[in-house]
């Protein structure tokens, strides 16, 4: 592709950026947003930018949101660009989500399960009525109620099913997973690579694909086995120490989607899993990811690949919003020479058609 270099536009670009800075700040008579405010009060936006930017750092995500004027895809792009400036120290040990400090844990398959249903800070059951008290700067709400916390054991729902032999076990390989940030996508993509792509994929795109599987595009009969959200420890083994240490805690959301599986000649009918895991509190994303993960497992489970959500090239090549926005928005760049040739071709065709 040929792009004509833009010359002579420097002054215009400078002025455009100055105006952008002014628009970003808005009315100077109003107090400026601080990063702490964004982090604390727009926390779910911060979580989404970390997930789609594939980089966990609340402060950087808040800065990106401020710089992008609240455009979350632009913010994810800024975070992705920043991470390329940093060295990689290594990879963590796999997060042990069964040891999560639970803030929310629900199951749609078992009403009474060990550890119970813990609603946590959720929008569920709110009436979705605009709260004008917030418009009037509602002040500080009273502290949330507390109750005696039994040392709760929170076994996985998938584990409960596995005990009965009703849940297909996961591959227990400890193989080094492929890394999208190091090697380009290649097909067929193994499940670890697919999960990495989905974890950083666009929430809206995955939500729509997940929805399509429910509406009949793909043979899905899912149940939310479990959603859990809370803090997990990140452990890392520095080579100079020779033992694993804790780097800190991060919040993640995990979704285990339980799906029917009719069985094959060699495998009995049982349940299979779709899995979602995302940085921060991102329940919709984790659920959508789990639906799409399960849909993408069609070939390995001997199911026909007929629907868009089951087509790994379609899903994995298009779920990344930073790549998608780059290619769509590049259409704004000058294509003067390309278009000149198109113009001449159309004029020629018209002359030929009219017999001149």
Partner 1 sequence: MVPEPALPDPPLLQAMRRRWMGLLARADAATIAARLAEAPALPPHIRLRGPETGLVMTRGRQGGDGAPFNLGEMTVTRCSVRLEDGTVGHAYVAGRDARQAELAAVLDAALQDPDRRPALLAAVIEPLAAAEAARTAREAAKAAATRVEFFTMATMR
- With 0-12 CB in 10 A as exposed, 13-18 as middle and 19+ as buried, what is 298? buried
**To the nearest whole angstrom, how small is the minimum distance from the Cβ of residue 42 to partner 1?**
19
Sheet holding 222-236, edge to edge: 101-106, 222-236, 245-261, 270-279
**To the nearest whole angstrom, how small is the minimum distance from the Cβ of residue 54 to partner 1?**
4
Contact 93, 237 (CB under 8 A): yes
Cis upstream peptide for 188 (omega within 30°): yes
Residues between 156 and 185 that touch partner 1 (CB under 8 A): 156, 158-159, 169-181
Closest to 197 in 3D by CA, of 213, 178, 212: 178
Within 13 A of 301's CA, how many CA atoms are on the CB side? 28
Pick from 183, 243, 327, 332 the residue near partner 1 by CB under 8 A. 243
Question: Quick check: 153 binds partner 1 (CB under 8 A)?
Answer: no
**To the nearest whole angstrom, how small is the minimum distance from the Cβ of residue 248 to partner 1?**
3
Q: CA 166, CA 156: separation in Å to the nearest integer? A: 14
**To the nearest whole angstrom, how small is the minimum distance from the Cβ of residue 273 to partner 1?**
5
Residues between 209 and 238 that touch partner 1 (CB under 8 A): 230, 233-234, 236, 238
Q: Go through the chain and tell me how many residues it has.
A: 356
Indicate the Cα dihedral angle 101, 162, 274, 269, nearest 10°.
-170
Residues contacting partner 1: total by CB under 8 A: 86
Pick from 35, 83, 260, 324 the residue near partner 1 by CB under 8 A. 83
Q: CA 57, CA 50: separation in Å to the nearest integer? A: 7
Residues between 89 and 118 that touch partner 1 (CB under 8 A): 89-95, 97-98, 101-104, 111-112, 116-118
Pick from 45, 73, 160, 199 the residue near partner 1 by CB under 8 A. 199
Residues between 118 and 137 that touch partner 1 (CB under 8 A): 118-121
> What are the residues facing 177 on neighbouring strands?
none
**Closer to partner 1 at the Cβ: 101 or 345?**
101
Site string for partner 1, 273-312 (x = CB under 8 A): x-x-x-x---------------------------------
**To the nearest whole angstrom, how small is the minimum distance from the Cβ of residue 14 to partner 1?**
30
């Amino acid at each position: 592709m040929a792009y004509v270099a833009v010359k002579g536009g420097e002054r215009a670009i400078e002025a455009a950026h100055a105006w952008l800075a002014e628009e970003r700040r808005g009315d100077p008579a109003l107090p400026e947003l601080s990063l702490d405010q964004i982090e604390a009060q727009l926390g779910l936006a911060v979580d989404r930018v970390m997930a789609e930017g594939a980089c966990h750092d609340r402060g950087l995500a808040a800065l990106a949101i401020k710089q992008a004027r609240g455009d979350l895809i632009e913010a994810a792009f800024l975070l992705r660009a920043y991470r390329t400036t940093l060295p990689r120290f290594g990879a963590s040990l796999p997060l042990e989500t069964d040891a999560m400090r639970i803030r929310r844990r629900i199951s749609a398959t078992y009403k009474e399960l060990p550890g119970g249903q813990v609603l946590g800070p959720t929008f569920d059951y709110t009436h979705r009525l605009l709260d004008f008290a917030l418009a009037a700067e509602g002040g500080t709400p009273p502290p949330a109620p507390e109750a005696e916390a039994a040392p709760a054991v929170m076994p996985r729902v998938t584990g409960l099913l596995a005990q009965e032999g009703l849940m297909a076990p996961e591959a227990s390989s400890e193989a080094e997973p492929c890394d999208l940030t190091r090697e380009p996508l290649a097909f067929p993509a193994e499940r670890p690579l697919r999960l990495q792509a989905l974890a950083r994929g666009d929430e809206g795109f995955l939500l729509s694909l997940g929805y399509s599987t429910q509406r009949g595009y793909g043979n899905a009969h899912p149940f939310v086995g479990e959603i859990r959200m809370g803090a997990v420890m990140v452990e890392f083994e520095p080579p100079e120490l020779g033992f694993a240490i804790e780097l800190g805690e991060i919040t993640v959301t995990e979704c285990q989607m339980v799906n029917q599986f009719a069985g094959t000649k060699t495998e009995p009918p049982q349940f299979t899993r779709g899995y979602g895991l995302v940085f921060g509190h991102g329940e919709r994303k984790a659920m959508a990811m789990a639906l799409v993960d399960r849909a993408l497992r069609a070939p390995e489970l001997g199911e026909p690949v007929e629907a868009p959500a089951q087509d790994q090239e379609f899903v994995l090549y298009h779920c990344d919003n930073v790549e998608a926005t780059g290619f769509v928005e590049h259409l704004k760049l000058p294509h003067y020479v390309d278009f000149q040739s198109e113009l001449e071709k159309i004029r020629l065709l018209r002359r030929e058609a009219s017999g001149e």
